[in-house]
Amino acid sequence: MRKTGYLYDDRYRLHDTGSYHPETDQRLKAIHTGITEAGLLERLCVFPAEPPERRWIETVHESRYVERFKSACRSQNASFDSPDNPICADTFETAMLAAGGAIEAARRVMSGTLDNAFCALRPPGHHAESNRAMGFCYFNNAAIVSRYLQSAWHVGRVGIVDFDVHHGNGTQHLFEEDPSVFYYSIHQHPSFAYPGTGREFEKGKGAGYGFTLNVTVLPGQGDEAYMALMEKTLLPAFKDFKPEVIVVSTGFDAHSDDDMSDINLSTAGFFWIMEKIAEMADAYSDGRLISILEGGYSLRRLPELARDHITILLG
């Protein structure tokens, strides 16, 4: 059995998105309930978030953006950069703790304290650009962790797998000129095509050309389509790239019962996806894998999806 970390912190509930927003603290409650009721909690190394050094945030985000975000929260503005991004007085600190928690997970994995980790954090991050909040996201947690791995631990090749049903525009844009980070995203297109990026011809730029791989899935598709596409694209790409660490942008919103997409992945389909990613981590990364929560809004399905996710990480 692997040593699996579980980032869980009640302070993530302080980010108040209001009564009708889908990105709610009830998501974390559902995830924690699923893990606990399955009897998995005692098998995990549970740890809280640590406040990050601001320098790690600024490996990804402009200093002016960080200050603008902080000021907007202190001023108790209703939203930041977009109506999709509601804020409260605690949002800035919660977003800092989300990034800090993911960094702490990476530190524990790289130091050998953990083999892998699941970060049940909020707010999510993969839509956040260097200077703009988008799509419920404020700080790009997966990107920050990737830069932390490179700077603090001298990781030469980071592989990011993003299976959230929406394209991670922020993550792609931050790394599209960098051949040391391979960004793979499988997502729905064209319906529900927020944020409108992630076409298959987007393959990176300059020295990073070929290290971005977008795979689009038509509405109505499900397990068979995902399996065939990922077998054809992700598996050979990572076999060639051989990431030293795998960072997963874990979005559960492609489930058939999730209202945020028209994709029909089943719970078993998600199990298959994560199983393949874990196998790649064992093959190329000495098992080093950091899973970071992105989307997933079906409170009915999140308990079982989290349970299966943790079961795979535990091995």
The Cα–Cα gap between 187 and 194 comes to: 10
CA distance 161 to 177: 17
State how far Cα 152 lies from the chain centre.
20
255 tagged catalytic: no
Catalytic: which of 127, 173, 255, 309?
A: 127
Per-residue tokens: 232: 């054809």
Structure tokens at 145: 């962790």
92-116 in b/e form (b: 16+ CB < 10 A) is: bbbbbbbbbbbbbbbbbbbeeebbb
Tell me, what amino acid is at 112?
G
Provide the CB-side half-sphere exposure for 304 (13 A, CA).
11
Active site residues: 127
